[in-house]
Amino acid sequence: MSDDSREFHKPVKRPAELFDRRFAAEDPAEVSRVAHSTAQALLARARSDPNGEVVDRLVAFTDEHGIDDIAELWSRSPSRSLPGALWRLYLIQLMIHDDPHTAALLYERGRNEIVSADPVVAGAPTPAGPEELVELVDTILRGLFQGDFAVALDRAAAFCRVQASGASHLADDYEATESERASALTTRALRLADYAGDLAACASLWRRESLT
């Protein structure tokens, strides 16, 4: 599993029936092929569902099954690819669902500190509490499957930038008294900033019909 998966990893029982085909981890070409084909098939299936039932299941997937099966398919994909984008969105969703109170703390601090339109683009209410952030990330994920894919990616990127700002400023607060906590927050801020850049790049690729 990649380093991206470790911070938000959640061990779960793996449903054997989830995907029709497993792949051999020792075959990178097969891993890549399956990752891209399943991401494309999943997106096409969700967008063709008139009742939204498939989308409902996809949004609720990590709550029911955790992240292991998705990780097996997508975690080693390039960051600026369709499976790479979906993997990052599911990681962000899991991060918020697992600890919405910390997510809300980081978001509110970031919203007050950041000098950009990112809080507006992300679309969270003001102030944004734990329940509001859970609803926001689910709405963003739903937008990937039902709405404008690029807009959903841009919202996710903006959300990550706000969170990264909050984590970075909190790290500064703790630097003198709790160095380990400051270090963990700095690591989180850097990771979220990386996600923001990757998701924004994926949005641009999608608009050029180049995200595969």
The per-residue pLDDT for range 36-54, each reduced to its tens digit, is 999 999 899 998 887 888 9
Structure token pair of residue 116 = 């950009």
pLDDT number for residue 26: 57
Q: Answer yes or no: are the C-beta atoms of 95 and 148 closer than 8 Å.
A: no
Closest CA to 110 of 45, 172, 35, 175: 172
Amino acid, res. 6: R
Cα gap 201→135, rounded to integer Å: 24
Cα gap 98→9, rounded to integer Å: 10
Cα gap 122→31, rounded to integer Å: 32
Q: Under the phi-then-psi rule, with left for phi > 0, alpha for psi from -120 to 50, and beta for the rest, what region is 148?
A: beta
Structure token pair of residue 187 = 């690591």
Distance of CA 139 to the CA centre of its chain: 12
pLDDT number for residue 10: 41
Tens-level pLDDT at each residue, the chain (212 residues) = 444 544 544 433 333 333 333 444 457 777 788 889 999 998 999 988 878 889 999 999 888 877 887 887 898 899 999 999 999 999 999 999 999 999 999 999 999 999 999 999 999 998 899 999 999 999 999 999 998 999 999 999 999 999 999 999 999 999 999 999 999 999 999 999 999 999 999 999 999 999 99
Closest CA to 77 of 144, 25, 22, 32: 32
> How buried is residue 168: exposed, middle or buried, by Cβ count under 10 Å (0-12/13-18/19+)?
buried
pLDDT number for residue 154: 97
pLDDT number for residue 155: 97
pLDDT number for residue 148: 93
pLDDT number for residue 18: 33
